[in-house]
Structure 1
Amino acid sequence: MSTVTKVIEVSAASPTSIEDAVQGGLKKVAHSVKNICGAWINETKVITSADGTITEWRVNMRVSFIVE
């Protein structure tokens, strides 16, 4: 039997880091999706305060999972 993989697009944010945004997004997806097997980061963005300090990291990513 062949394997079918589905891909969904997810946006996630963190005030700490890119890694934290990715992990937070994957944990949230894992609540409703089983068999996650990978992710690609499509876009990275930062939100800044008026003085240029980074206040939030944002990522858009594609998450793949095996369909049962």
Structure 2
Amino acid sequence: MGSVARVTTINARSEESFDAAVRLGMERAQQTLRGVSGGWVKEQKVEASDGRITAWSVVLEVTFILED
């Protein structure tokens, strides 16, 4: 017997770091979706003001297994 997975896109933003943005996105995905099995960072970007980075954003592709 096999399994079927689906991929969904999540955007997450943090004022701390890319790592924090990824953690936030994956934690939120796991609260909403059942069967999350992984994810990958598709895009990264930063916001800046006065020459300083003010926020880090990621676009995540999150994989979850569809239930029977």
TM-score above 0.5, yes or no = yes
TM-score interval, normalised by the smaller of the two chains: over 0.9
| Residue aligning to 2:61 | 62
What TM-score, normalized by structure 1, do the two folds share? 0.93
Percent of pairs identical after alignment? 37
1:32-51 alignment runs, 5 A limit: 32-49=32-49, 51=50
Q: What's the RMSD between the two structures over aligned residues? A: 0.8
Structure 1: 5+ residue runs without aligned partners?
Answer: none
Corresponding pairs, count: 67
Question: 1: CA distance between counterparts of 2:64 and 2:18?
Answer: 21
Q: Return structure 1 stretches of 4+ with deviation > 4 angstroms.
A: none
Structure 2: 5+ residue runs without aligned partners?
Answer: none
